[in-house]
Homo-oligomer: A and B are copies of this chain.
Amino acid sequence: MQEWKKNIRQVVPYVPGEQPKEANVIKLNTNENPYPPSPKVKEQCAKICAKTEELRLYPDPTAGMLVEAIAKYKGLDSNQVFVGVGSDDVLAMAFLTFFNSEKPIFFPDITYSFYDVWADLFKIPYDKKPLDENFMIKKDDYYWKNGGVVFPNPNAPTGVLMPLDEIEDIISHNQDVIVIVDEAYVDFGGHSAQQLLSKYENLLVVQTFSKSRSMAGMRIGYAMGSAELIKALNDVKYSFNSYTMNRPSILLGTASVEDDAYFKETVEKIIHTREWFKAEMRKLGFTFPDSQANFLFASHPDVPAKEIFEAARANNIYVRYFDKPRINNYLRITIGTDEEMKKFLKFLTSFLKSQK
């Protein structure tokens, strides 16, 4: 082995969901929103193109316009909002900024697959706390001494929502460390821990434009917290890369926030489709924890999830399958349009029949 190879950081890279290039695929595998972004985003896009000469200039390193739009929308001060290149960037910066204890950080065993990847990357010790048999977080697992706590709410890939009083219980038992609530899916029926911010200075709430705002392609995420946490995040961000948000992200993100009616309308449509889809899935014999996200985490008593996954794929319908302990008989199915879900249900009906 050449000497220089010894100093290369060894990581097990995260494998993202497939991004098929074929046009005729029904893509229910990466929890994208089936509806386009707000028409205001299109209008703002045209303005950017009319002035491409501005692309020669660095963006505002504070992304001030976007930060202020989010703060105003959320009823916060602008020093309580941090923006990044998707919530993955925000969360990675938060791990790097806040998890510097010798003690392990705690997160669920079944959860967003990036947490252990970031912990490994930054050499943060961690301890995974098993969900119960119904995929619920057991709050008393989080009462022990730790270096920080992070969990999604609703949890991913289960879709299970934790009530706000239980979240507060975890935070109140962890006032010596930073607690991160990752709310990528909260707009689809959850209650945000944002309302606890005034009570807990050590709480960070992370949200994203990738799901409910139909802007996964723009990479915009944000964190809300006390001015002190947000300043610490910004200090690390400025040390890493002062200009993370490009001009289109700042401008198009702001346009999205300013169109609340459209946002609410599309979110409602997805919730409506999800509830109808749940009923149809039950009729087909699927079981699943009750999802409050834009996906369903479903298992069938008779047919292995992996077989359904592969057969769906062969029929140009992509869903997500995780070959991991405890969840390797589940499919994570994104809620698309009614039409897409009908096609998927039609495929399932005929596939299940063929397996009898």
Q: Find A239's partner among B14, B36, B201 (CB 8 Å cutoff).
A: B14
A61 in contact with B235 (CB, 8 Å): no
* C-alpha spacing A59/B220, complex, angstroms: 12
Contact of A8 with B85 at beta-carbon distance under 8 Å, contacts A42-B49, A58-B32, A246-B217 already known: no
- Whether A78 sits at the interface, judged by CB under 8 Å, is no
A59 in contact with B9 (CB, 8 Å): no
* C-alpha spacing A120/B239, complex, angstroms: 9
B57 in contact with A241 (CB, 8 Å): no
Contact of A19 with B58 at beta-carbon distance under 8 Å, contacts A4-B202, A219-B246, A241-B92 already known: yes
A interface residues, tally (CB under 8 Å): 88
B16 in contact with A36 (CB, 8 Å): no
Shortest beta-carbon distance, A112 to chain B, in Å?
Answer: 12
Instruction: Report which A residues bind B (CB closer than 8 A).
Output: 2-9, 11-17, 19, 27, 30, 32-37, 41-42, 45-46, 48-49, 52-61, 85-86, 88-89, 92, 96-101, 117-118, 120-121, 147-148, 175-178, 201-202, 210, 214-219, 228, 232, 234-236, 238-249, 252
| Other A-B pairs, 6, CB within 8 Å; known A13-B234, A56-B215 | A2-B176, A3-B176, A7-B98, A9-B96, A15-B238, A59-B217
Identify 29 residue pairs between A and B in the complex whose beta-carbon atoms are under 8 Å apart, listed by A's number: A4-B176, A4-B177, A7-B99, A7-B100, A7-B148, A7-B177, A7-B178, A8-B97, A12-B239, A13-B236, A15-B238, A16-B242, A19-B60, A32-B56, A36-B53, A37-B55, A37-B56, A41-B55, A42-B52, A58-B217, A59-B217, A59-B219, A85-B246, A86-B241, A92-B241, A117-B239, A121-B239, A217-B247, A246-B248
